[in-house]
């Protein structure tokens, strides 16, 4: 365990090791080397269902956190996620406590383990559980449901933990700015090794032509060429508003 977290391997429980062990984290065991990935789902169109809701947050905020957590991964792959409301979905999402249902894993009350998810497959495969004994929040004043969900969905898609401390797939909870795109290059390489990158035909503008390319949340609703310029539009309140300067293509 010390080796995984980049600590000096002593085999002893020193204070630094204890500190890392106490840090709120994911309940998926650290097995194997990073870079090893499971086969994935073998398809790109997946379904998800929110089986129950946490009382900690408004339902709409839970919906949004879950959807955003999935979009973190669909943004860099050909994956699509469709929400369903009954029956069995690929990714069944639930808030549970302690020993729960037929799940072979359990939760530990407040702090400690925050969530767990199962790798792609039938039955429990892809299913993602959050510890209801945590205080889930929209903005990370407790634990950010968005960030923990995005991490757990990495497992549900076939990723194991990363020992890169900047990776979303690092097992410990790190509070990040929820408005920033949470994937590191390590995460992107991992997910693209399973599902490939975005198709070349994607309508998304290439980096070099995006005015604020450093903001990965920037999306455009329409792109048009006007004379020799490319214009990007974003829909706002019933009309299109140009949100960025036009680019000259000469």
* 106 or 220: CB nearest Zn ion: 106
Cβ neighbourhood burial of 107 (10 Å; 0-12, 13-18, 19+): buried
Secondary structure letter of residue 205 according to DSSP: P
Query: Segment contacting Zn ion (CB under 5 A): 52-60, 98-106, 211-219, 236-244?
Result: 98-106
Q: Which of 64, 134, 152, 207 is catalytic?
A: 152
* 77 or 128: CB nearest Zn ion: 128
Among this protein's residues, is 152 annotated catalytic? Answer: yes
CB of 41 to Zn ion, least distance (A): 18
- Binding to Zn ion (CB under 5 A) within 130-189 occurs at none
* 26 or 50: CB nearest Zn ion: 26
- Binding to Zn ion (CB under 5 A) within 201-220 occurs at none
Contact 67, 96 (CB under 8 A): no
CB closest to Zn ion, residue no: 26
3-class secondary-structure state, position 148: helix
- Binding to Zn ion (CB under 5 A) within 20-39 occurs at 26, 28
Residue 16: CB atoms within 10 Å: 13
* 56 or 152: CB nearest Zn ion: 152
CB of 155 to Zn ion, least distance (A): 5
- What Cα–Cα distance (Å) separates residue 76 from each residue in 152, 226, 249? 17, 29, 26
For 243, phi then psi, to 5°, come to -105, -5
CB of 161 to Zn ion, least distance (A): 5
- Binding to Zn ion (CB under 5 A) within 99-128 occurs at 103, 105
Write out 37-99 in H/E/C secondary structure: CCCCCCCCEEEEEECCCCCCCCHHHHHHHHHHHHHHHHCCCCCEEEECCCCCCCEEEEEECCE
Catalytic site residues?
Answer: 152
**Could you list the residues that contact Zn ion (CB under 5 A)?**
26, 28, 103, 105, 129
């Amino acid at each position: 365990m010390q080796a995984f977290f980049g600590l000096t391997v002593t085999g002893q429980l020193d204070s630094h090791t204890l500190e890392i062990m106490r840090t709120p984290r994911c309940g998926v065991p650290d097995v194997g080397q990073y870079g090893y990935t499971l086969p994935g789902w073998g398809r790109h169109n997946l379904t998800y269902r929110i089986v129950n809701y946490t009382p900690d947050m408004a339902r709409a905020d839970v919906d949004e956190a879950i959807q955003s957590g999935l979009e973190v991964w669909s943004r860099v792959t050909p994956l699509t996620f469709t929400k369903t409301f009954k029956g069995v979905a690929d990714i069944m999402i639930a808030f549970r406590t302690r020993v729960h249902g037929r799940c072979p894993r359990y939760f530990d009350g407040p702090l400690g383990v925050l969530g767990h998810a199962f790798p792609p497959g039938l039955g429990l495969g892809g299913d993602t559980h959050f510890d209801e004994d945590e205080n889930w929040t929209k903005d990370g004043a407790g634990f950010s449901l968005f960030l923990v969900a995005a991490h757990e969905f990495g497992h549900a898609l076939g990723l194991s933990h990363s020992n890169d401390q900047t990776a979303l797939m690092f097992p410990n909870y790190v509070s990040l700015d929820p408005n920033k795109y949470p994937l590191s290059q390590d995460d992107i390489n991992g997910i693209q090794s399973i599902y490939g990158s975005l198709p070349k035909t994607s309508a998304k503008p290439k980096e070099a032509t995006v005015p604020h390319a450093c903001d990965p949340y920037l999306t455009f609703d329409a792109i048009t060429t006007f004379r020799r310029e490319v214009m990007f539009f974003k829909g706002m309140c019933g009309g299109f508003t140009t949100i960025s300067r036009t680019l000259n293509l000469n």
